[in-house]
Structure 1
Amino acid sequence: MRRPDDVVEIFLRPGELYFGDRHTRLRTVLGSCVAVVFWHPLKLLGGMCHYVLPTRSRPAPAPLDGRYGDEAFCLMLQEIRAAHTLPAEYRVRMFGGGNMFPGMSCNRAPIGPQNVAAARALMRQHCLNCIGAHVEGIGHRHLLFDVWSGRVTLEHTGPQDGVTACR
């Protein structure tokens, strides 16, 4: 599909999410964070959440926070329902969860794989089918999502491997 003339470009920082129509392009940069991309192929709607950690201990009155995977999913599902669509109508993909410091040893598992596991569990919990993923490994990713076409462009840069593309 041809790019619309009046595209709004949104750059998502960690903890942010955005849901928009066919006039939207979303960008982000991922390390150990995970981005989940939702696209409705018939209505040309879509969004992305970029979360930092899988979950938190949330006090009862605290508002939802997009920095946490479970809460980012809730916020994205609210946007999907506000658009009078169903989550199952979306094509879902996930990206990120890389190990940014492979040479460092610590007593805890790297956060990237934990973020990926959380996304997989949340997709199962909400009966979403992941049609594609580029997750874990070493290095960072630059992600671009064109809502008008559903096209996702990814550049993955590792410590030695240069750039690879996954579309």
Structure 2
Amino acid sequence: MYKLFFSITCFMLAFPSLANEEWSTMSYFWGQDNQLEASVWLKNKNDPSSEQVISSFIAHSTNGTQNIYFMARFVNDYNMCNVNDTNDGIFKIDNQAVKAYVWCKKFSDSSKYYLQMTAETNKGQQYIVDRFKKATKYVRFEFNGISVNIPAKGFTHIWNNAGGNAI
């Protein structure tokens, strides 16, 4: 847990607060850029190397349940986290704290790592799905100083057609 906290602290020292900087954003609704994903691209206007992506996507867990996941990654050649860190954490969805599994994952085509997370409980998963289904514009995602509005447009259609739980 210490290594994850240290990695995120280093990240936040490099990018102290999205609110205190001039950040440009570009959002993609569900299915617009990637069939099972919605994303927000962030870039500090004063630092082109700061470009990063926060995304939400639908996938099946190792036990076959259809889940919603979140991912944070740099666009440039930077690691978002330390591969040895697999920890629990908390993120917020529309100001509601959600217990989360948080882990560092390696890109398949490079030596760099990104941060991935999902709700730890079924209740948390259901809350997130319900928020996306009920939202008219976006769902607010917050994690360790990062706060973005992930588009909700197209979510229900994508969720309902993602295959459901494996039988």
TM-score, scaled relative to structure 1:
0.25
Q: Which has the higher strand share?
A: 2
TM-score, scaled relative to structure 2:
0.25
